[in-house]
Amino acid sequence: MTWQLLIGQKSYSSWSLRGWLPFAVFDIPVTVHSALLYGERFAADVAAFGGHRTVPCARTPEGGVLTDSLSIAWHLADRFPERGLLPADPVARAEAQSIIAEMHTGFVPLRSACPMNLRTAWAGFVPSEAVLADVARVDAIWSRALARSGGPFLYGEFTLADVFYAPVCTRLLTYGLPMSEAARAYVAAVTRLQAFRDWRDAGLAEDDEIALYDKAPLARIPFPLP
């Protein structure tokens, strides 16, 4: 048996991107299944896969079920320690795990006001003070890690920390949010990854634009890939 992964639409499901990227970047074979977010069969499809209400959901080759992106990440890091999913240095590893957890539980204003949308960017979006505070915290996390590692990714080589902040990179682009020069270079490195480009291209090929993510009356502009 092989790994199995259930995801939502690629243009919109940030948590699905976090679930899928480790398999793609670290060369772990997986069979991918899809469930339509907000579709009539979504709950039934997730339940049939073995999950509970949300995606991503993964099944191990032995039949174990992982019903959250963080559990998928930790399990893969434990299972494949030789592939570098987390930094080898103990101090960097501890910090990486901390900022992953912060991303998983925090930044609610940013995530709520700026849902991931890889199909378009929006002109004239005005962020709230709470969103700007989240953006500043993200920038501080990135700048500190990059200053120590030298980049191009947070801990030099691509790790799970980059997996969990990849959707934030896209949000900064989609909504024209402020970035330091260090953050801008980091966003460029993440969005130039072939795995990310493959994910976005596959999302654009899906014929299922979700009205909930429409920010009209803001004007649509091309998604600004670096």
Query: 51-93, pLDDT tens digit by residue?
Result: 988 999 999 999 999 999 999 999 999 999 999 999 999 999 9
Whose tokens are 């995530």? That residue is 111
As a whole number of angstroms, the distance between CA 6 and CA 20 comes to 9
β-strands 3-7, 219-221: how paired? unpaired
For residue 1, pLDDT over 80 is answered with no
Looking at domain 3-83, its CATH architecture is 3-Layer(aba) Sandwich (3.40)
**Element holding 31 (H helix, E strand):** strand 30-34
Sheet holding 30-34, edge to edge: 30-34, 3-7, 57-59, 65-66
Predicted confidence (pLDDT) per residue in 192-220, tens digit = 999 999 999 999 999 778 888 999 999 99
The pLDDT value recorded for residue 211 is: 87
Q: Is 167 left (phi over 0), alpha (psi -120 to 50) or beta?
A: alpha
Predicted confidence (pLDDT) per residue in 30-55, tens digit = 999 999 998 889 999 999 999 988 99
DSSP 3-state assignment of 30?
strand
The pLDDT value recorded for residue 27 is: 97
**Element holding 194 (H helix, E strand):** helix 194-204
Fold match between 3-83 and 90-199?
Answer: no
As a whole number of angstroms, the distance between CA 153 and CA 146 comes to 7
Q: What is the dihedral of CA 196, 198, 199, 204, to 10 degrees?
A: 130
DSSP 3-state assignment of 176?
coil
Q: Is the peptide bond before 56 cis (omega within 30 degrees of 0)?
A: yes
What is the secondary structure of 77-91 as a DSSP string? HHH-GGG-SS-SSHH
As a whole number of angstroms, the distance between CA 89 and CA 127 comes to 37
Average pLDDT in the 128-132 region?
98
Whose tokens are 């501890």? That residue is 94
Q: Is 6 exposed, middle or buried, given 0-12, 13-18 or 19+ CB atoms closer than 10 A?
A: buried
The CATH number fitting domain 90-199, selected from 2.60.120.260, 3.20.20.80, 3.90.180.10, 1.20.1050.10:
1.20.1050.10
CA distance readout (Å), 107 to 64, 175, 201: 30, 15, 27
**Comparison of pLDDT for 71 and 1, the residue scoring more:** 71
DSSP 29: -
- Sorted by where each begins, the domain ranges of the chain are 3-83, 90-199
The pLDDT value recorded for residue 39 is: 87
Where residue 106 falls among pLDDT bands split at 50, 70, 90? Answer: very high
Average pLDDT in the 122-133 region?
98
As a whole number of angstroms, the distance between CA 215 and CA 95 comes to 35
As a whole number of angstroms, the distance between CA 88 and CA 117 comes to 33
For residue 108, pLDDT over 80 is answered with yes
Whose tokens are 């960017």? That residue is 121
